[in-house]
């Protein structure tokens, strides 16, 4: 049975109140469209552009006001919500925060968190200067719309995350992202998302921030057979993606690569 996942392809502002208004706007659209889950990008609570000190100083705990407000929106709308935030580190001696994903269910209850494990120290960005790396992968979670795995942006370039989730039975995998503009970056983004889907026999979705000249937007989704389910443009918009968890069963039956792995060799 197919379910609808909504990708809120949007930017964020250095004003959490405005970002909550953006969230409410897209959540209302997604709920009216019958979506089971709405995904907001990495850095949704507060943007990671410009002065990184501001990003760290505006971090909040998971029990803080932003998550509490998003929880109320989930409860009000009856929809699951996934979004990225700058989470205050328990010890801020290094002036760093965590880049964290928050997953709320349709009653507003926290169902999972994930601290980004691979920090974007590439293409002249140095995320590790202001962000502490997580040290635990997200354990795939059973949801009413399938078994879900999670990663964040640069994690996409490390296939081990998606493979680990697939081996634990994940039927789909989501990468909230802020994919940086650059030569061939959009091609890499879409190619890697499709590769993670095909090689693991699961649907993979990427929801990227759109900020002109900074983050590409172009959210993308691919099923286990390589069919493109969504291909966003460079704009702020809601993208509806049909996801069928049973596709993983079919794909893994036809191509049982997870069973055929030579674990004795690698």
**What phi, psi does 264 have (nearest 5°)?**
-75, -15
**Count of C-beta atoms within a 10 Å radius of residue 72:** 14
Catalytic residue list contains 10: no
**52: its two tokens:** 């990184």
Catalytic residue list contains 116: yes
Question: Count of residues for the chain?
Answer: 266
Chain center to CA of 220: 12
Among 10, 42, 48, 222, the active-site one is: 42
Alpha-helical (H) ranges within 97-234 are: 159-167, 185-200
CA distance 71 to 81: 8
Chain center to CA of 73: 19
If 0-12 CB within 10 Å is exposed, 13-18 middle and 19+ buried, where does residue 1 land? exposed
Q: What are the C-alpha distances in Å from 13 to residues 45, 166, 170, 201, 212? A: 8, 35, 33, 36, 13
Q: Are 7 and 144 in contact (CB under 8 A)?
A: no
Four-residue CA torsion sign, 187, 190, 196, 201: negative
Question: 36-68 burial by CB neighbour count: b if 16+ within 10 A, else e?
Answer: bbbbbbbbbbbbbbeebeebbebbbeeeeebbe
Among 48, 87, 97, 116, the active-site one is: 116
Among 10, 97, 153, 207, the active-site one is: 153
Residues taking part in catalysis: 42, 116, 153
């Amino acid at each position: 049975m197919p379910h609808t996942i909504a990708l809120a392809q949007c930017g964020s502002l250095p004003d959490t109140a405005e970002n909550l208004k953006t969230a409410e706007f897209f959540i209302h659209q997604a709920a009216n469209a019958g979506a089971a889950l709405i995904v907001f990008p990495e850095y949704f609570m507060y943007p990671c552009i410009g002065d990184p000190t501001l990003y760290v100083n505006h971090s909040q705990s998971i029990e803080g006001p932003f998550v509490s407000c998003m929880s109320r929106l989930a409860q009000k709308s009856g929809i699951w919500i996934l979004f990225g935030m700058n989470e205050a580190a328990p010890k801020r001696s290094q002036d760093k925060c965590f880049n964290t994903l928050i997953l709320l269910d349709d009653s507003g209850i926290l169902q999972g968190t994930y601290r980004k494990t691979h920090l974007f120290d590439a293409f002249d960005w140095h995320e590790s200067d202001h962000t502490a790396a997580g040290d635990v992968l997200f354990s795939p979670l059973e949801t009413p719309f399938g078994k879900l795995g999670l990663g964040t942006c640069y994690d996409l370039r490390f296939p081990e995350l998606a493979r680990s989730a697939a081996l634990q039975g994940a039927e789909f995998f989501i990468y909230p992202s802020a994919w940086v503009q650059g030569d061939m970056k959009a091609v890499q983004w879409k190619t890697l998302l499709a590769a993670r889907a095909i090689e693991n026999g699961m649907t993979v979705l990427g929801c990227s921030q759109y900020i002109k000249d900074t983050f590409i937007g172009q959210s993308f989704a691919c099923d286990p057979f390589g069919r493109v389910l969504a291909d966003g443009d460079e704009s702020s918009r809601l993208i509806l993606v049909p996801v069928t968890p049973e596709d993983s069963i079919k794909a893994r039956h036809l191509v049982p690569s997870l069973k055929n792995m030579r674990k004795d060799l690698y």
